[in-house]
Amino acid sequence: MTQLALVIDLNVCVGCHACVTSCKQWNTSGWAGPMADFNPYGADPTGTFFNRVQTFEVGEFPHTQTVHFPKSCLHCEDPPCVPVCPTGASYKRKEDGIVLVDYDKCIGCKYCSWACPYGVRELDEAQKVMKKCTLCVDRIYDQTIPEDRRKPACVIACPTSARLFGDVHDPDSEVSVAIREAGGYALMPEWGTRPANHYLPRRRTAIRIHPDELVRADNPLTKEDVALPSADNTLEDAIM
Amino acid sequence: MELPGTRPDQDLGRHEVKTTTCYMCACRCGIRVHLRDGEVRFIEGNPDHPLNRGVLCAKGSSGIMKQYSPARLTRPLRRKAGAERGAGEFETISWDTVFDLLAERLGRIRASDPKKFALFTGRDQMQALTGLFARQFGTPNYAAHGGFCSVNMAAGMIYTIGGSFWEFGGPDLDRAKLFVMIGTAEDHHSNPLKIAISQFKRNGGKFISINPVRTGYSAIADEWVPIRPGTDGALFLALIHELIRLGLYDRDFLTQYSNAAELVNLDEGSSEYGMFVRFEVPPEEGCFDPQNKLWWDRELNRPVGTHTPGVEPRLLGEFHLADDTPVKPAFQLLKERVEAYTPEWAAGITGIPAETIRRLAHEMGITARDRKIELPIAWTDVWDNEHRTVVGNPVAFHAMRGLAAHSNGFQTIRAMSILMTLLGTIDRPGGFRHKAPFPRPIPPCAKTPNGPEGVRPDMPLDGMPLGWPADPDDLFVDAAGEPVRIDKGFSWEYPLSAHGLMHNVITNAWRGDPYRLDTLLIFMANMAWNSTMNTAEVRRMLADKDEDGEYRIPFLVVADAFHSEMTAFADLVLPDTTYLERHDVMSMLDRPISEFDGPVDSVRIPVVEPTGECKPFQEVLIELGSRLKFPAFVDKQGKRKFRDYPDFIVNYETAPGSGIGFLSGWRGRGGEKFLRGEPNPRQWEMYARNGGYYHHELPRSYQYMRNWNKGYLTWARAHGLTRYAEPINIHVYSEVLQKFRLAAQGRTDTRQPPDRLRKRVETYCDPLPFYHEPLESQLTDTRRYPLNAVTQRPMAMYHSWDSQNAWLRQIHAHNHLYIHPKTAAAAGIADGAWMWVESRWGRVRCLACHSESTEPGTVWTWNAIGKAKGAWGLAPDANESSKGFLLNHLISEELPPHDAGEHLSNSDPITGQAAWYDVRVRVYPAGPDEPAESFPQFAAMKPAPGMTTARPKWFAYVAGKFAGASGKEP
Ligand code: SF4
Ligand code: SF4
Ligand code: SF4
């Protein structure tokens, strides 16, 4: 059984928000749209986004880490948002594991957003229905889109290719290999939601220098025997 | 709800895809724009494009909200008769009236005194055209925004290695093993740098970020080294000290490819003091740097011509020529210069522990030496030595405005370039690589006129409006040594101001120093807000009047696509198009988008119709140039040569029959030539068919060591990229600077600086890099103002441009002042509280945000988020104006009066680069009774006629339904 998912590499994500706005432009005119903005040109603008990047600091100066953390629906394998939905609007697709909302059935009761431990479901205040990441379900199967671009909008936009997309149930897929080899992890496993999306951790490269590397025989300074030995000033003159 | 995937997206309306070039920032990625029923549906990166290879940033992905922004100007406007300038009272007029009015006014100026017209532009990407217009007009008063952006980076590197970061070169992260990024650089080279950093990290390279602040790309650095702003030069000099001390430099590279081994005359009594010793050779035609200097032969212990086959020169020592002239190799002088610049010394200045500085030097030196790359690429150098391989020392650097925007930036960047040279990393794999048309001679050939006689009524300017002075005779000054340009560029005050000083134009014109202007045309630069220093005062100057009631700057024309703070001050507003509505070229004559492997240029082709009466600024220039009968725009009979801008691009040649024009691809009658060739009437079509760009990949043997690569240099000359096929040796020691110093010392009989400037020129025009405290700190009580204040550039915004963008402004609706918790605690400033930040020039009330990723001696904020009330199509209560703020109010455009003069620019004393990041501040809490609002505030701007004013509180963009939803044709 297929389970599509995103794997986000925090080792290279620079927090540029490309995934945020690419998602918005694709989806607002797409199947899951529109994505309304409240006060778009006024005070405290706020709108619907399926994907947001949070930035936070960890540690104390000067050992501070600045972490950029993109977050969207994790398409849990055991999604708590689905059973709590009174109308069946929230559902998980058998064929690919994508969790979707049928706006026609959604009554905007917000049960699912309370049930989601990740806070990724947003009520579209204009339409009063729950909206969230669809894994770009209207792109990834669209045969009119060239195959190499038939991926979520956030994935094709991401300048650092921090966002990998694929089937986490296929052990040979790019995403499964990345999770295995780079220590990919799921968010808050203790909730038992088994998120399909995973994150790859930061990895730190260091350079080790051996002391003898600083004093090598081929040091170019040896070519600069600056104080030229002159005939009237030799060791002979100095040694008693 | 219909099941997803029932219908393909392209069946949801009339679907089209068009290829063009992004302009949400200056990076210029290739894009594919999908349209639905004529409205923009989706913008994606063009996967075939060499620059961004299919990816797109947050800005590029929000182009829709720029296209349909309510801040767009749609009609030509004239200040209402009787209305005060700055009040925003406009009436709409027709383009015909605009052209009649401008042609009459400008024609009058041109016939009397062309310098009374000034054209200054923002980051317009059309400097080749705007510069041509100014030159043809005959005014010296032209520049783009480089002077207040990063001219130190351009000049510091070009005067040292013949190329520079960003458009003209960059770090080869594909092969580097160590990458050092210094200072804020997030906006300069946007997507390519992100792509490269990510690949670099995945390949296991080590990424070190040296920056007072850990944000942006620094977040993913393997090591963050916090540094105090403005002290980078001290760090570089200490690194150089340590590399020389340990012999961790690439000796062969230095001797062969730089002037490090060349002998400098140290005869105190000679007018040649500090110049290289030269032997006579007959002058060679077409040669900029005759190879007639000397080395000291190690073997025979005597002087010998440089590059004599088989000779190994000394880098260190002190020698006497046969006539007893004392000489030293330049490298010896460098070694002496950095003697005192120990890591311990630098630690006290930079705040970086001495052990860390030493370790950084060791990591750089050892990676360069022991992880060498050798590519099996044969090439021949200009001295006819055959090389079987190309060698690389894989340490790469990148820096931009963080280094540049200090008054010591030029020398800092010289120091960085020399560090890169010591490591042997110039135009080699894994190091710094050039991009065409660079490398160019040091300095490049273009020159301005050198005296007031270059400005003549009804004639083009006798020289380029901007250039690269090589010695005092190239300065653009009068007999008294005083400036000809309104911004005082290319004068003794800022001799190498290669990009002009746009940041002083308004103040100088207002004061009438050196003279008054008649008409100032500003294109796409927000000089009444974030693009100016001393914002409140400059706004006052823009609207200030003489005793006789006339405006001190008599006529102000502003061309812009958006309702910025600047447009309010215009007497005439020319509505420009967006990038999706026009033709454009990223030209080899300007700043192309070349890759390391060869020249690339590109175009924009309109994907939607212009909005309202918007007209591309290029068309305005072509129309005016034709009406004013500029020689380049009309034939001998005075008849207009070019129908419009696309026609101009195809048919214009730099000189009759030169075969060089704005676009380098598909030249020649049938498009069979490149770089040089006759105009091709189908050139646009051919660009369009190729995705909007032309990429000429060089043979591999021409891709490296281009400063000295005979094949490349010969090819470049043959194709008109450069004038010479001579070696471009790296200036470890800068004779150019020494010439200015000698003049200032009165040792030479070239032109002399005015007395008040002698000391300044002598001090700063040092042929070797040195560290000095930024000028503002030198002239400020730093105990009273103990902190540095800087800005960083958010990746999701391009300067002031994106507050009008409904999506991007949700990411940065207002800014905070970031401050280390200890610094804040000492001042009693709570996290999230209102606070004051004050410099000797003014104060700003803003919101504090405690941050552990900020060096404790620094406070910082995001650049240009704060807006004036009502500007940029925003409601008067928008966060940008009520909570957002500008640091610009704290920064003066001029230094306090001191011995070098009363009105010197707050800029680098060599290049005139605006010293944005020199400002010193103190902080304290806002009082409990103060309004919860940023300070200063200005009267709210009114929307201009023709702007969309009504937008619903709830707004959802859906392509194909926008025109209906907004009640207005998009
Ligand atoms: S686009 Fe990529 S790099 Fe940018 S924030 Fe999203 S995941 Fe991170
Ligand atoms: S992340 Fe939340 S909304 Fe998405 S599937 Fe899991 S529980 Fe449901
Ligand atoms: S997969 Fe699609 S819907 Fe989900 S975050 Fe990415 S772009 Fe948005």
Instruction: Output the six-digit token pair for A147.
Output: 């195959």
User: Which of the residue ranges A141-150, A187-196, B120-129 would you say has the lowest mean pLDDT?
Assistant: B120-129
Residue keyed to tokens 């008294």: B480
Per-residue pLDDT at B569 exceeds 60: yes
Q: Which of B829, B807, B799, B788 is nearest to B915 (CA)?
A: B788
Separation of alpha carbons A68 and B220, rounded Å: 9
Q: Which helix (H) or strand (E) holds B715?
A: helix B710-718
Residue A31 has a pLDDT of 96
Interface test with A, best of B955, B958, B961, B962 (most A CBs within 10 A): B955
Q: Over pLDDT 70: what percentage of chain B?
A: 98
pLDDT per residue over B526-567, tens digit each? 999 999 999 999 999 999 999 999 999 999 999 999 999 999
pLDDT per residue over B397-438, tens digit each? 999 999 999 999 999 999 999 999 999 999 999 999 999 999
pLDDT per residue over B259-303, tens digit each? 999 999 999 999 999 999 998 766 565 557 777 899 999 999 999
CA of A142: which chain B residue's CA is closest? B8
Contact residues, A window 168-207, toward B, CB-based 8 Å cutoff: 202-207
Q: Which of B56, B73, B46, B952 is nearest to B567 (CA)?
A: B73
Residue B799 has a pLDDT of 81
The ligand placed nearest to the CA atom of residue A8 is: 1
Cα of A178 to ligand 3 centre, how many Å?
20
Q: Which helix (H) or strand (E) holds B346?
A: helix B343-350
Residue A229 has a pLDDT of 37
Q: Which atom of ligand 3 is found nearest the CA of A23?
A: 7
- Average pLDDT of chain B to the nearest whole number: 95
pLDDT per residue over B888-904, tens digit each? 999 999 999 999 999 99
The 3-class SS string of B725-750 reads CCCCCECCCCHHHHHHHHHHCCCCCC
Instruction: Output the six-digit token pair for B832.
Output: 């999230």
Per-residue pLDDT at B149 exceeds 90: no
User: What 3-state class would DSSP assign to B347?
Assistant: helix
Average pLDDT over residues B657-664: 95
- Angle of the B409-422 helix axis to the B151-161 helix axis, nearest 10: 40
Instruction: Output the six-digit token pair for B374.
Output: 């050798």
Contact B337, B768 (CB under 8 A): yes
pTM to 2 decimal places: 0.96
Average pLDDT over residues B520-525: 96
H-type alpha helices, chain A: 18-28, 111-115, 153-157, 174-182, 235-238
Beta strands in B122-267 (DSSP E): 142-143, 169-171, 178-182, 206-210, 223-225, 263-265
Residue A221, C-beta contacts closer than 8 angstroms, at least 6 positions apart: B247
CA of A22: which chain B residue's CA is closest? B61
Per-residue pLDDT at A186 exceeds 80: yes
User: What 3-state class would DSSP assign to B435?
Assistant: coil
Interface test with B, best of A11, A23, A37, A155 (most B CBs within 10 A): A37
Q: Around B25, how many Cα atoms within 13 Å sit in the side-chain half-sphere?
A: 24
Q: Which atom of ligand 2 is found nearest the CA of A75?
A: 5
Residue A230 has a pLDDT of 43
Residue A236 has a pLDDT of 55
Contact B870, B86 (CB under 8 A): no
Separation of alpha carbons B914 and B404, rounded Å: 9
Residue A29 to residue B70, Cβ atoms within 8 A: no
Residue A122 has a pLDDT of 87
Separation of alpha carbons B818 and B862, rounded Å: 9
CA of B875: which chain A residue's CA is closest? A42
User: What 3-state class would DSSP assign to B653?
Assistant: coil
Written as one letter, the residue type at B64 is: I
Residue keyed to tokens 């490296």: B704
Instruction: Output the six-digit token pair for B106.
Output: 């400008």
Residue B508 has a pLDDT of 98
Per-residue pLDDT at B639 exceeds 90: yes
B250-253: long-range pairs with CB below 8 Å, 24+:
B250/B368, B250/B369, B250/B393, B250/B422, B250/B423, B250/B424, B251/A220, B251/A223, B251/B315, B252/B424, B253/B393, B253/B421, B253/B424, B253/B426
Q: How confident is the model at residue B69 (pLDDT cuts 50, 70, 90)?
A: very high
Q: Which residues have any ligand 1 atom within 6 Å of their CB?
A: A 8, 13-19, 53, 68, 70, 158, 160, 162-163
- Bridge partners of B413, per DSSP, are none
Residue A1 has a pLDDT of 86
Contact A166, A176 (CB under 8 A): yes
Chain B partners of A14 at a C-beta cutoff of 8 Å? 194, 197-198, 216-217, 219-220, 795
Residue B57 to residue A16, Cβ atoms within 8 A: yes
Cα of A51 to ligand 1 centre, how many Å?
10
Average pLDDT over residues B218-245: 97
Q: Over pLDDT 90: what percentage of chain A?
A: 85
Per-residue pLDDT at B724 exceeds 90: no
Q: How confident is the model at residue B793 (pLDDT cuts 50, 70, 90)?
A: confident
pLDDT per residue over B570-599, tens digit each? 999 999 999 999 999 999 999 999 999 999
- Angle of the B735-744 helix axis to the B755-764 helix axis, nearest 10: 150
pLDDT per residue over B368-386, tens digit each? 999 999 999 999 999 999 9
Per-residue pLDDT at A238 exceeds 60: no
Residue B956 to residue A34, Cβ atoms within 8 A: yes
Q: Which atom of ligand 1 is found nearest the CA of B198?
A: 3
Contact A19, A157 (CB under 8 A): yes
pLDDT per residue over B156-203, tens digit each? 999 999 999 988 999 999 999 999 999 887 767 889 999 999 999 999
User: What 3-state class would DSSP assign to B558?
Assistant: strand
Q: How confident is the model at residue B867 (pLDDT cuts 50, 70, 90)?
A: very high
Residue A216 has a pLDDT of 78
pLDDT per residue over A81-136, tens digit each? 999 999 999 999 999 999 999 999 999 999 999 999 999 998 988 899 999 999 99
Contact B212, B351 (CB under 8 A): no
Separation of alpha carbons A217 and B423, rounded Å: 18
Tell me what ipTM this predicted complex has.
0.95
